[in-house]
Amino acid sequence: MSGLAPAQLRDLARAARAASDSQLLRLVSVLDRLPRRGAADAVLEPVRHRLGALRPERPMTPMRLLFLPMEGVLVAPRDWRGEGRQLPRNALAPLGEAVFAAAPGLAEALAASIGEAPLSDHALAAKLGARLWPAAAHSLPEGPPPGWAGAGLPEPAYARLRSLVALLWRYGPGVHGLRVAGPDGPPEELARPFFRALAAEGAEAVEIGLSAVLAAAARPARLVALVAGLDPALAPAAERALDQFLSGLTPPRPEGELGRAAAAAGRFAALVEDLERTATRAAPRRAQILQGLRHAAAGHCKARLEAETAVGLLGPLSEVLAAPAGSGAMDDAELGALERRARALRALAEAGRRLDAQGRMPAEGLRAVGARLAAALPGLPERGEGFLRADALRLLEILEGPEAAAARR
């Protein structure tokens, strides 16, 4: 249990849904400091899509380390269908407590080794997990552990979920290695031997292993094709893993810090392009799903682009251009922030263009900024204080490209 009363949990859940980005990050920090989170995890379920975009730094804990190999198959309790290919989050506490109860002192020893390390310390996680995960696979009881029914889990589901977590713990070092293999990962030289070894456990094991890795893959459809190509008998399992991945895929909302939001939109565009190239040639239903994802993601990009351009770029720029020449209305720090915002908006517009089915992203706001800068160029000073001609040309280059800026010199 988390130590929080149901009424407190409901209040926190409402606060999470209504919180700004900064408030949500503070709430996450508070929950992370609870000694036993338990039901407090449910507070974050409605806002997990926002946390995916915000990517807050999370502390590594023994429980979090234990379930790292399951990250790709975790689902909210309401989304679990009772089968053994996904793990509902409400099963984590009873399973984890059973593992640590079977090895007294293990949680304390892990906590000492972890110290203040964040979850993003992949090297430490791999070092500690190499011993923890295979041992955990053999420490679960045959029957449901204490707290299973209290977590709202049916007794017959335990055997299926026990098999799932035991498999992913046995192969935990490989799963974790593939998940953190880099922005273009996992590379074929790591994925091929891992899935060949997993194939010895059978097609269902390959499907589970693939599901655990896909969510972290930069090119998921390419990975599915690699696994399906290892053996024709594995192709149906690989296709099922891909369908499960697609069913849980949601377009990112470009919320939070603008540069991070633009980067997330760009990654999603690359993911959709990979899926379309590799996965939909003989699957019209998948093509329809991807078309819907494209439409929704492009709409999110357009809404953020329009709002941010007007408030964060055109407004401040209009103020500085209206100020008397040489007035020093914008210092270097403010100009640097404006340029970073312009780069992020340009990247967001490019991601939206890639996501739009016709390859067109309305960017009237950016064009209005470019036109405003171009009109102001003749009256801007070459040197001195304030906003200079070189500053305007640099912004034009960011927004329109070097050729357009060069033509206005």
The pLDDT tens digits for 370-397 are: 888 888 888 888 887 778 888 889 999 9
Q: Is residue 233 part of a domain?
A: no
Look up the domain containing 43 and give its range.
1-56
pLDDT tens per residue, range 314-352: 888 888 888 776 555 677 888 898 999 999 999 999 999
- Residues 200-219, mean pLDDT to the nearest whole number: 94
Q: Are residues 46 and 123 in the same domain?
A: no
Per-residue model confidence (pLDDT) at position 326: 56
Q: Are 82 and 154 in contact (CB under 8 A)?
A: yes
Q: Are residues 66 and 161 in the same domain?
A: yes
87, 25: one domain: no
pLDDT at position 1: 40
75 domain-assigned: yes
Pair 9, 73 in one domain = no
Highest-confidence segment of 57-66, 178-187, 192-201, 264-273: 192-201
pTM attached to this predicted model: 0.80
For residues 4 and 110, state if they share a domain: no
* Per-residue pLDDT tens digits for 43-55: 777 777 677 666 6
In a domain, 2, yes or no: yes
Q: What is the pLDDT of residue 340?
A: 93
The whole-number pLDDT of residue 154 equals 95
Average pLDDT rounded to a whole number, residues 70-95: 92
pLDDT of residue 209: 97
Q: Say how many domains are in the chain.
A: 3
- 42 and 125 share a domain? no
The last residue of a domain, from among 124, 158, 174? 174
Kindly state whether residue 223 falls inside one of the protein's structural domains: no
Same domain, 65 and 39: no
What is the 3 state secondary structure string of the chain? CCCCCHHHHHHHHHHHHHCCHHHHHHHHHHHHCCCCCHHHHHHHHHHHHHHHHHCCCCECCHHHHHCHHHHHHEECHHHCCCCCCCEEHHHHHHHHHHHHHHCCCHHHHHHHHHCCCECCCHHHHHHHHHHHHHHHCCCCCCCCCCCCHHHCCCCCHHHHHHHHHHHHHHCHHHHHHHHCCCCCCCCHHHHHHHHHHHHCCCHHHHHHHHHHHHCCCCCHHHHHHHHHHHCHHHHHHHHHHHHHHHHCCCCCCCCCCHHHHHHHHHHHHHHHHHHHHHHCCCCHHHHHHHHHHHHHHHHHHHHHHHHHHHHHHHHHHHHHHHCCCCCCCCCHHHHHHHHHHHHHHHHHHHHHHHHCCCCCCCCHHHHHHHHHHHHHHHHCCCCCCCCCHHHHHHHHHHHHCHHHHHHCC
State the pLDDT confidence band at 141, using cuts at 50, 70 and 90.
Answer: very high
270 domain-assigned = no
pLDDT score of 3: 55
Share of the chain above pLDDT 90, in %: 51
Mean pLDDT taken over the chain: 86
30 and 120 in a single domain? The answer is: no
Asked if residue 211 belongs to a domain, the reply is no
- Assign 189 a pLDDT band (cuts: 50, 70, 90): very high
Residue 288 lies inside a defined structural domain of this protein? no
52 and 22 share a domain?
A: yes
43 and 142, same domain (yes or no): no
Do 133 and 38 lie in a common domain? no
Does residue 384 sit within a domain?
yes
